[in-house]
């Protein structure tokens, strides 16, 4: 059996070099011991992920960050203390423990402390056994929509995981629903590499620093490829439903926007937070229904709305 709710089983699997998909507050991650080069290599194979797309190391608590990152600027320490555990990833200068297999040969490493209680339990129990971090990319096929439930993981990777004796730890539906905000923390100023639930405004407020969005020579972020987070159906962004054609199509929009006749309503979230929470699941439902086109009216505004629109533009590309 691949899917379990037994944390001990998951911990034992990870400690013995097997893979285990774990729930986090953002999306499910396909985890492996960050100390085990063979297991890390299998994470890439399971996802069909190119080897030069670096992985995030997940740790249990703040005191473990220095195992992976040599030094963080003061603003990043303030941000970490305020936001972690939570949907934030910091990219810092790597220690020797952060191998080339994890960083894709780069001198920086991405680290995050997830807040999901099940992820916390797994990471803490492993730390007690001397395993100080888990690599965990989103547990989807490379380029596909990230998984926000154990079932999504099973659909994408179940066959591979089953065949190799790997596991999926079911911790329910992910609360945030969008991948973590990634912030480069090697300079005097924060640079956002991927938008997420922790917004530029949050970061400016906490650190007192103004935030940059791009910088020359910044390492690749795979979610920054133009086409990513994509379902099979064509995704078309519209500003109002008069642009929606009913032939074999679906609609994702805030609840106050009504559904044209003959169109399948994929989700009707009540808020921007709900929109993020239901986004990936709605895109996957569109594929389950074999829809040709998924129309989306993205939420307006900055912050989380902007992060949602960013993912949708890549899904639509
Ligand atoms: O919310 C999340 O971050 C989820 C959960 C499972 O924690 N994980 C996730 O992992 O989204 P993944 O691998 O799908 O996306 C991580 C991104 C990749 O786009 C990767 O390129 C970028 O982080 N990344 C990793 N290390 C990096 C580094 N040293 N410099 C720049 N980007 C890096
Ligand atoms: Mg991903």
Q: Is 164 helix (H, G, I), strand (E, B) or coil?
A: coil
Q: Is 309 helix (H, G, I), strand (E, B) or coil?
A: helix
Among 21, 91, 98, 110, residue to substitute to test ligand 1 (most atoms within 8 Å of Cβ) = 110
Q: Which CATH number fits domain 3-207: 3.40.190.10, 3.90.870.10, 1.10.275.10, 3.20.20.100?
A: 3.90.870.10
Q: Counting Cβ atoms within 10 Å, is residue 163 exposed (0-12), middle (13-18) or buried (19+)?
A: exposed
Which tokens belong to 112?
């995050």
Report DSSP state, residue 224. Answer: G
The string of pLDDT tens digits covering residues 85-138 is 999 999 999 999 999 999 999 999 999 999 999 999 999 999 999 999 999 999
- The whole-number pLDDT of residue 317 equals 83
CA of 203 to the centre of ligand 2 (A): 22
Residue 102 CA, closest ligand 1 atom number: 26
Closest CA to 52 of 105, 3, 12: 105
Closest CA to 30 of 137, 117, 189, 122: 137
- The whole-number pLDDT of residue 228 equals 81
The string of pLDDT tens digits covering residues 18-77 is 999 999 999 999 999 999 999 999 999 999 999 989 999 999 999 999 999 999 999 999
Q: Is the pLDDT of residue 217 over 90?
A: no
Instruction: Give the start-to-end residue ranges of the domains of the chain.
Output: 3-207, 234-316
The string of pLDDT tens digits covering residues 136-147 is 999 999 999 999
* pTM metric for this prediction: 0.96
The string of pLDDT tens digits covering residues 32-48 is 999 999 999 999 999 99
Contacts of 307 (CB under 8 A, 6+ apart): 178, 181, 195, 196, 197, 199, 276
Mean pLDDT of 147-160: 98
Q: Is the pLDDT of residue 295 over 70?
A: yes
177 lines ligand 1 (CB under 6 A): no
- The whole-number pLDDT of residue 229 equals 87
The string of pLDDT tens digits covering residues 221-266 is 556 666 788 999 999 999 999 999 888 999 999 999 999 999 999 9
Closest CA to 301 of 191, 148, 192, 199: 199
Q: How far is CA 104 from the centre of its chain?
A: 18
- The whole-number pLDDT of residue 220 equals 53
Same fold, 3-207 and 234-316: no
The string of pLDDT tens digits covering residues 162-176 is 999 999 999 999 999
Which chain residues have CB less than 5 Å from ligand 2, an ion?
138
Q: Across the chain, what does the average pLDDT equal?
A: 95
- The whole-number pLDDT of residue 147 equals 98
Q: Which CATH number fits domain 234-316: 3.30.43.10, 3.40.50.11030, 3.10.620.30, 3.40.50.1220?
A: 3.40.50.11030
Residue 109 CA, closest ligand 1 atom number: 29
Mean pLDDT of 206-221: 74
């Amino acid at each position: 059996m691949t899917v379990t709710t037994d944390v001990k089983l998951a911990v034992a699997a990870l400690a013995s070099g097997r893979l285990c998909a774990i729930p986090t507050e953002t999306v499910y991650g396909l985890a492996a011991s960050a100390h085990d080069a063979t297991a890390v290599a299998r994470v890439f194979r399971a996802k069909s992920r190119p080897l030069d797309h670096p992985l995030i190391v997940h740790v249990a608590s703040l005191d473990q960050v220095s195992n992976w990152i040599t030094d963080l600027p003061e603003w990043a320490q303030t941000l970490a203390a305020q936001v972690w555990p939570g949907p934030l990833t910091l990219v810092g200068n790597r220690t020797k423990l952060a191998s080339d297999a994890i960083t894709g040969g780069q001198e920086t490493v991405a680290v995050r402390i997830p807040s999901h209680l099940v992820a916390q339990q797994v990471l803490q129990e492993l730390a007690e056994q001397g395993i100080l971090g888990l690599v965990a990319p989103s547990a989807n096929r490379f380029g596909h929509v990230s998984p926000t439930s154990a079932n999504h993981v099973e659909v994408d990777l179940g066959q591979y995981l089953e065949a190799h004796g790997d596991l999926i730890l079911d911790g329910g539906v992910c609360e945030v629903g969008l991948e973590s905000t990634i912030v480069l923390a090697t300079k005097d100023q924060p640079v956002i590499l991927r938008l997420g639930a922790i917004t530029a405004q949050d970061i400016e407020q906490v650190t007192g620093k103004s935030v940059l969005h791009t910088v020359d020579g910044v390492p690749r972020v795979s979610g920054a490829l133009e086409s990513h987070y994509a379902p099979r159906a064509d995704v078309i962004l519209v500003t109002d439903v008069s642009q929606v054609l009913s032939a074999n199509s679906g609609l994702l929009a805030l609840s106050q926007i009504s559904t044209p006749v003959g169109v399948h309503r994929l989700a009707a979230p009540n808020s921007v937070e709900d929109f993020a929470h239901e986004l990936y699941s709605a895109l996957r439902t569109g594929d389950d229904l074999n829809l040709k086109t998924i129309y989306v009216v993205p939420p307006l505004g900055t912050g989380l709305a902007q992060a949602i629109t960013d993912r949708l533009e890549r899904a639509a590309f």
